[in-house]
Amino acid sequence: MILEIDNLVKHFPVGGGFPFGGSKGEVKAVDGVSFGIGAGETFALVGESGCGKTTIAKLILLLEKPTAGRIVFDGTDLTNLNSRQVKEYRRNAQAVFQDPYSSLNPRMKIRDILAEPIRAHQTMGRKDLERRLDEVLEIVGLPERAKRNYPHEFSGGQRQRIAVARALTLNPKFIVLDEPISALDVSIRAQILNLLEDIQKELGLTYLIIAHDLALVEHVSTTVGVMYLGNLVEIGPTAQVFDDPQHPYTQALLAAVPRPDPKHGLSEQLATGEIASALNPPSGCKFHPRCPHVMDVCSQTYPELRRIGESRAAGCHLLEEQSA
């Protein structure tokens, strides 16, 4: 495993506000999540907005500190790094964010945008720097002359290519792709996806993709983790999870996606109701107020993840009933 997440917790305190202050409680954004990502794999985290997937990405990128738990990258525990180790980790772990319109500084030329990570991490002569910038631009399919321009002179797809090029400048092993195509025009999404897949094969990269678009996840990921209100409720090889989802929430998510196979058409299992709040989550199984299969035990006891076969797991009391 290149990345191991072990019982990761992130709670955000919520203040009582002016004038009395105090704490009103805490948002359990990530509430005990464990999974591993193998080298060369594309692991997808999916779930509705507020499920905790973006918080996990921020914790992995060291943009937030965990409340508890461990993140281990290539054998090193990220929760206790000194500043030299943080720098080394940042060389190896890069990110591409959703919106190439806001992630590129509009006042900087592409040369400076691409050179910024290199300058922050190493000393490189001018010629070597230019050569490296030309290399990454070529990898993402942009001409060398792009260095002389500003972000506003490029289309959305080209800007996302520049964001990918910037992520590649330090030769990382691992890239977090946070909704990498959702802000782009539909007509160019496939190009960016193909580019990311080609780069992964060529450079042997590992990806963690954060996405709400299940068609995208099915297309690009090897393993998928489904999150609901801070917990992982199902995990396994993407093809198996999409073909035969075990958790009622995964079933509901997939049922809501129009797919050509009639086996996967809209079903009565579509979850109804609003997603509950991570500030005051339901007791027991957090999905129980929306679940079409809810039983008495569901509101009382949290269903731990149970292994299903060799490589899958899901957390639902129905699975315990079936194996009893």
Smallest distance, ligand SF4 to C-beta of residue 307, A = 16
Smallest distance, ligand SF4 to C-beta of residue 288, A = 4
| Residue among 10, 132, 159, 317 that touches ligand SF4 (CB under 6 A) | 317
Residue 316 interacts with ligand SF4 (CB under 6 A)?
yes
Smallest distance, ligand SF4 to C-beta of residue 212, A = 20
Residue 306 interacts with ligand SF4 (CB under 6 A)?
no
Smallest distance, ligand SF4 to C-beta of residue 173, A = 36
Smallest distance, ligand SF4 to C-beta of residue 44, A = 21
HSE-up of residue 322 (Cα within 13 Å, Cβ side): 11
Residue 288 interacts with ligand SF4 (CB under 6 A)?
yes
Total residues interacting with ligand SF4, rule: CB under 6 A = 13
| Residue among 303, 305, 308, 313 that touches ligand SF4 (CB under 6 A) | 303
| Residue among 287, 305, 312, 313 that touches ligand SF4 (CB under 6 A) | 287
Region for 25 from its dihedrals, namely left if φ exceeds 0, alpha if ψ lies in -120 to 50, beta otherwise: left
Give the C-alpha separation, 251 to 241, whole Å.
Answer: 9
Smallest distance, ligand SF4 to C-beta of residue 147, A = 52
Residue 47 interacts with ligand SF4 (CB under 6 A)?
no
Residue 291 interacts with ligand SF4 (CB under 6 A)?
yes
Smallest distance, ligand SF4 to C-beta of residue 293, A = 4
Residue 253 interacts with ligand SF4 (CB under 6 A)?
no
Q: Which of residues 255-274 bind ligand SF4 (CB under 6 A)?
A: none
Residue 72 interacts with ligand SF4 (CB under 6 A)?
no
Smallest distance, ligand SF4 to C-beta of residue 285, A = 3
- Three-state SS letters, the chain: CCEEEEEEEEEEEEECCCCCCCEEEEEEEEEEEEEEECCCCEEEEECCCCCCHHHHHHHHCCCCCCCEEEEEECCEEHHHCCHHHHHHHHHHEEEECCCHHHHCCCCCCHHHHHHHHHHHHCCCCHHHHHHHHHHHHHHCCCCHHHHHCCHHHCCHHHHHHHHHHHHHCCCCCEEEEECCCCCCCHHHHHHHHHHHHHHHHHHCCEEEEEECCHHHHHHHCCEEEEEECCEEEEEEEHHHHHHCCCCHHHHHHHHCCCCCCHHHCCCCCCCCCCCCCCCCCCCCCCCHHHCCCCCHHHHCCCCCCEEECCCEEECCHHHHHHHC
| Residue among 285, 305, 308, 313 that touches ligand SF4 (CB under 6 A) | 285
Given the rule CB under 6 A, which of 31-39, 40-48, 100-108, 310-318 is the region that contacts ligand SF4? 310-318
Site residues for ligand SF4 per CB under 6 A: 248, 285, 287-288, 291, 293-295, 298, 303, 316-318
